[in-house]
Structure 1
């Protein structure tokens, strides 16, 4: 079949240059393309990547990339199915607009693909009905590689789909067959089809999700997460199932992109890549054995308790230069509310060791979780101080937002649409208070860094100037300046 895959635009919330507008490469879509290409004629339309510095503003969003008419022009007239990637929650309204326009222009089946491997995505069990209302025919819930082929066969044979992980409308009623199956042997999947995406345009941007210093691609070395954090959508999209690729399979992919695309940098976008520290150690040794001169970065966070000093040492030897961890709160009481286990003292010890190994580190926090008290915020503040002394290089402070599919989805209200569910939720009644605390803590962080690690702080402006990014903060400063200049001239 002739199948068109569409990655929607990148969207940025007005006034939020730090938390939105991040150009995540569409990993799950690339994996689907890799799985389909052997049996189907695949066309990829990357609405962001094909024209990333073109801006338009609609309501409270700045939208980067192709216009909807440009997307429609690129869809082959003989396409037999169109798959639209439900990439990020901030792009929800724009993605719906794309679906509406496709429905008016084409009579072929429109399929929405869930992004199951991101904390900034959303569950189609919750949000899928709005896509059906906009004109979509099917929503695939869960991993798409093991479902899209079944759906295409059903479409070709004109049969009603009967497999798990699908939402569709029949005779005016929504039919949901919830997901039961998860891909357990990830080594059997073909590598993602990055050659079908405009990587050069992403590289030319000079910024990414993780701090970039050259040609990069994201890696997904595992899927899912075994933890049940209540602010996160992942327990819903992955049912707390963690599955992993073998070290050999991961390094095979690394070597493939080094040889075919000249990639020198790899951004691990796993939800929790280090669950088995032995796997990470073995992978590090395999990189060293193959003499691959690369850098790799854990940019989406990992569970610090799953590592030890020996693991970190091997990671550094193999080229790991960046690790993000997620304490989320300095308060044990809030962590209990979140259902988030975290060992504060162990994390401090490992951050000290990462600092000695030359690995740049980030710690992420969630502010404003329901039930959090002022004294809990002060415990977070005190823990940030301890992290600075231990050598943490940067912190990220997010204000909790109710992601569709998360345990806390119904805990807050006041937003107008899902695109407002960012980590700068200005619609929250307590946002001003939380934002004030966040800004003051950022200032305190840099003042403490000036005291305890002045050389690192002194070098940061030069890292921005010469685009030698060590931290996301440095890269974000560059990205913000570039986007503000582009918006001013658009």
Structure 2
């Protein structure tokens, strides 16, 4: 029987302050699909391992095929680890967002690159390897033929997501993940994806694997997996869809099914502000939702148009207040210093964000990710090149890095982020009246300081 070992090359998040650190669902789906076809599967999730431990586990599994997941922040680690294990397998395969966008960049070490969704492709690759035939008839892959990169026909996306087996969570180190979250937040949480694809075209967003075509699972299928996750002992679900609330009818169907089955699991999700009305927020809360996150990104409508967000500042304000009125905690994400911004638009965002009744907020600098319109624009305008996408140890203020030639200096944007956090938490801890007395002079003084900086 052919043996496949899947590797998630992210190492030890001991100093990682990211709000989310989850097991590799994509590899879990591939493992489940391989397992359903009778393939012997192992999964090595490096999150809580040293490199030595990871290499040892892979070697102990004695794989015929070694399959890696790689994204923008993992390329260097992926290539180094694959090179170490090159002689411990017969075939090296890689998939994920960056390999899909840049297959040639991986084919010096890897034999095959999966382009897009990997469940069916990996199963077919394993079958071809076992039969000792080539991969030219496998859709959605790239490989070298006589030294030249060859790509096969694009693979059709999986339309019936209910047909996919649930991720093989038995391969994850569930106890390590639960303890990781219990230590940091007092509860354990596990991800679940109920849909694929996003029909929007935000300037900074890349979707090379799932594409634009929105496909979703049935409410019953979703809640079946929620109950399975509960069986692993997790306290909470993170619905990891790009926008869990995109289709209100489907969303309310999931909420109704959770209530009907009396599932005792709280949950969180990402949402768009133009989908969060009062009825939706109330039903989400009744179905166990505790917290919702919005990608608002800017407090200026002109900048939102530059980002192609297709939302307005007023929609964002209403969505936050609708969610809060329903008893939900609310988090929001903002970007400062977007290409095309000026001092006033940055300060608009700082004022808007710090004045909202949020429970959590995050400010970042714009990161031009390969495959996005933003990346292509700054590459042309600024001679922008990224050689190393390794992610920093955490996203604390001092770790933010300006990756392209901007109209703002890195120091100026970091000043704006620090100012925004002080104003936000100042309002929370001092109250509206207290902040007006103490914080207003600070806000005015730092507005002037920001404008004077270069």
Question: What is the aligned partner in structure 1 of residue 92 from structure 2?
Answer: 110
Q: 1:409 aligns with which of 369, 375, 378?
A: 375
Rounded Cα–Cα distance in structure 1 between residues aligned with 2:235 and 2:100? 38
Change (3 A) 1:125 1:194: closer
Question: What is the aligned partner in structure 2 of residue 151 from structure 1?
Answer: 125
Question: What is the aligned partner in structure 1 of residue 441 from structure 2?
Answer: none
Change (3 A) 1:196 1:70: closer
Per-residue deviation, 1:212: 4.8
Question: What is the aligned partner in structure 1 of residue 160 from structure 2?
Answer: 185
Change (3 A) 1:276 1:427: closer
Question: What is the aligned partner in structure 2 of residue 289 from structure 1?
Answer: 260
Rounded Cα–Cα distance in structure 1 between residues aligned with 2:431 and 2:295? 22
Question: What is the aligned partner in structure 2 of residue 67 from structure 1?
Answer: 51
Q: 2:81 aligns with which of 98, 102, 124?
A: 98
Question: What is the aligned partner in structure 1 of residue 327 from structure 2?
Answer: 358
**SS state at 1:419 partner:** coil
Change (3 A) 1:434 1:124: same
Rounded Cα–Cα distance in structure 1 between residues aligned with 2:52 and 2:59? 11
**SS state at 1:168 partner:** strand
Rounded Cα–Cα distance in structure 1 between residues aligned with 2:104 and 2:110? 9
Q: Within the alignment, does 1:3 sit opposite 2:4 as a pair? A: yes
Q: 1:255 aligns with which of 200, 214, 227?
A: 227
Question: What is the aligned partner in structure 1 of residue 437 from structure 2?
Answer: none
Rounded Cα–Cα distance in structure 2 between residues aligned with 1:392 and 1:77? 47
Per-residue deviation, 1:335: 1.7
**SS state at 2:363 partner:** strand
Q: Within the alignment, does 1:123 sit opposite 2:75 as a pair? A: no
Q: 2:32 aligns with which of 34, 53, 56?
A: 34
Per-residue deviation, 1:454: 10
Per-residue deviation, 1:320: 0.2
Question: What is the aligned partner in structure 2 of residue 119 from structure 1?
Answer: none
Q: Within the alignment, does 1:171 sit opposite 2:150 as a pair? A: no
Question: What is the aligned partner in structure 2 of residue 308 from structure 1?
Answer: 277
Q: Within the alignment, does 1:84 sit opposite 2:68 as a pair? A: yes
Q: 2:309 aligns with which of 340, 363, 372?
A: 340
Rounded Cα–Cα distance in structure 2 between residues aligned with 1:124 and 1:350? 36
Rounded Cα–Cα distance in structure 2 between residues aligned with 1:102 and 1:224? 33
Per-residue deviation, 1:109: 0.7
Per-residue deviation, 1:278: 1.2
Q: Within the alignment, does 1:267 sit opposite 2:227 as a pair? A: no
Per-residue deviation, 1:304: 2.0
Change (3 A) 1:222 1:73: closer
Change (3 A) 1:212 1:27: farther
Question: What is the aligned partner in structure 2 of residue 380 from structure 1?
Answer: 349
Give the length in aligned residue pairs.
418
Question: What is the aligned partner in structure 2 of residue 462 from structure 1?
Answer: none
Change (3 A) 1:435 1:12: farther
Do the aligned residues in 2 keep the contact of 1:68 with 1:98 (CA within 8 Å)?
Answer: no
Question: What is the aligned partner in structure 2 of residue 232 from structure 1?
Answer: 205
Do the aligned residues in 2 keep the contact of 1:68 with 1:101 (CA within 8 Å)?
Answer: no
Q: Within the alignment, does 1:195 sit opposite 2:170 as a pair? A: yes
Rounded Cα–Cα distance in structure 2 between residues aligned with 1:19 and 1:406? 23
Rounded Cα–Cα distance in structure 2 between residues aligned with 1:172 and 1:403? 28
- Provide the aligned C-alpha RMSD in A: 2.5
Per-residue deviation, 1:426: 4.5
Per-residue deviation, 1:90: 2.1
Change (3 A) 1:247 1:11: same
Q: Which runs of 5+ in 2 are unaligned?
A: 435-454
- Of the two, which has the highest radius of gyration? 2
